[in-house]
Structure 1
Amino acid sequence: MSAANGRFAAVFFDLDGTLVSERTGVREARTSVGARLIELGIYPKPASAFADTIEMVIGGIMEDNDWQWPLWLHAEEWMKRSLAVEEIEVSEDEFAELNRVYRDERSDRAEAIHGWPEALAAARGHGPVGLITNFNDGPMQRQKIRGAGLDGQFDGVYISGEVGVWKPEPGIFLHAAEDLGVDPRECVHIGNNIQSDIEGALSAGMTAVLVEEDDRPRPDGLNGEVAWCEDLLEVASWLS
């Protein structure tokens, strides 16, 4: 793999799966909601059963929306629907507490992926560093960034739920470049998803770098316009 050709006006990163891992955090955070319901004395089943209900509710919504996560589907919405399925009534304060438990547990379990300091330091050698991430709930995503220890690391944070455009649509990439005052054709986006990160960045005129953290072979269909790195340390080397 050759190094970056010249300097970039800005370097953008994806978050989930690229800089932050949540391999078990989401399920555990949902289970923690069930545990809190048990503590409140209003749920007779195991905590994991409420996590199952949440996943069933979300799965039904996703199926109704062609397996695309709708922008309106925040934690509060699937929480409300899951409680209704279980026929559980809670007060406004209890509902707020359940959402707080979920947010805190999920952000606490988010872990920055090995090599992130080196990758971000190398990116800083080019210019501004931005984050472009798909998530409908901006405050929760920002809490996750803080929980992973990445707060303050970016010159701009662009969350689909706040921008109103999801990757791979080029609009969110173009918005990020415009906000930082750079030409998207002089930028690079680094991510782990071929469709949302790689195809999206290319559609906006950016250079794209695919990061594969799981020792999988190079995916089919990558052409010479896309760099491929095995991990963030290799990203740092490519950017240096």
Structure 2
Amino acid sequence: MIKAVIFDLDGTLLNREESLKIFISNQYERLNESLYQLPKEEYVQRFIELDNHGYVWKDKVYKQLIREFSIQGITCEELLEDYLNNFKENCVPFPNVLETLERLKQNNFLIGMITNGKGQFQMDNMKALEIDKYIDTILISDWEGVKKPDPTIFRRACERLKVDPEECVFIGDHPKNDVKAAKEVGMKGVWKNNRQWEKVKADYVMDELDEIQTIIQHLNSVSS
């Protein structure tokens, strides 16, 4: 019987790619006095390429941008500080995020969050999406001292929710860090399709978040 639903954040609840495009465009405008010699389209496109779907930390991204484009008048530390302070203002959720979380709570499911990243940064993003109030336990790799796909962080979430792994569904967009890792500790692994990978070995694949209700009903009907 499924008792808990645990989510990844970036690429699952937070539409990170859309949020990043909006942020980096706004950053260029905000810091135009230092960046004006570089065409906006080039700055935005190269940032997105270097970011690599969030798997390259931004200090490296900004250092590379400064080197490639010979940016002067602003440091990578200042650009990074702007990112840390302002990304949250550009957060875009996927469709049906709040409705899905609300319905899960109404149906008495526990809700967890496991996300890699910087602690306060990720927490600020959750608050910007207004999802933090629905979540019973939040594990952020920076604060936990361990990150996905390490099984420790998945087991720790179960302990805090007081459920067994077999009573959990984990939903994420990364085949290895999310789906495979969750399945290996005994959870049901659901892949949030982002069309970046193909042939992901998941228990279920979903395109929209509100499909989770149907998935849980199927799982519970099979186990009963």
> Which bracket does the TM-score occupy, shorter chain normalised?
0.7 to 0.9
Superposition map of 1:96-111 within 5 A:
96=78, 98-99=79-80, 101-103=82-84, 105-111=86-92
Q: Could you say what secondary structure the match of 2:183 adopts?
A: helix
Q: 1:95/1:48 Cα in 2 relative to 1: closer, same or farther (>3 Å)?
A: farther
Match of 1:148 in 2: 129
CA–CA distance in structure 2, aligned partners of residues 100 and 87 of structure 1: 16
**Alignment partner of 1:179 is 2:160:** yes
Match of 1:133 in 2: 115
**Alignment-mate amino acid for residue 178 of structure 1:** E
Q: Structure 2 vs 1, CA of residues 58 and 118 (structure 1 numbering), >3 Å: closer, same or farther? A: closer
TM-score (ref. length: structure 1): 0.71
* Shift in CA distance, 164/46, structure 1 to aligned 2, threshold 3 Å: same
1:220 aligns with 2:194: no
- What's the CA shift string for 1:129-149, capped at 9, x where partnerless? 111123x32222222222223
More helix by share: 2
Residues matched between the structures, number: 215
Tell me: CA distance 1:80–1:188, structure 2 relative to 1, closer, same or farther (3 Å): same
8 A contact 1:131–1:156 mirrored in 2? yes
Aligned ranges 1:45-194 → 2 under 5 Å: 45-51=38-44, 54=47, 69=55, 73=57, 75-76=58-59, 78-79=61-62, 82-83=65-66, 86-90=70-74, 96=78, 98-99=79-80, 101-103=82-84, 105-124=86-105, 125-134=107-116, 136-194=117-175
For 2:64 and 2:25, locate their aligned partners in 1 and report how far apart those are by CA, in whole Å. 16
**Larger deviation, residues 29-38 vs 190-199:** 29-38
What is the alpha-carbon distance in structure 2 between the residues aligned to residue 107 and residue 159 of structure 1?
A: 16
Structure 1 unaligned residues grouped into runs of 5+: 1-5, 60-66
How far off is 1:233 after superposition? 1.7
**Which stretch has the larger CA shift, 48-57 or 104-113?**
48-57
* 1:176 Cα offset (Å): 1.6
State the identity %: 25
Q: List per-residue Cα deviations over 1:20-39 (Å, max 9, x = no partner).
A: 21333213423433333323
User: Which of the residues 13, 31, 37 maps onto 1:44?
Assistant: 37
Q: State the AA in 1 paired with 2:145.
A: G
Structure 2 runs not aligned, ≥5 long = 218-224
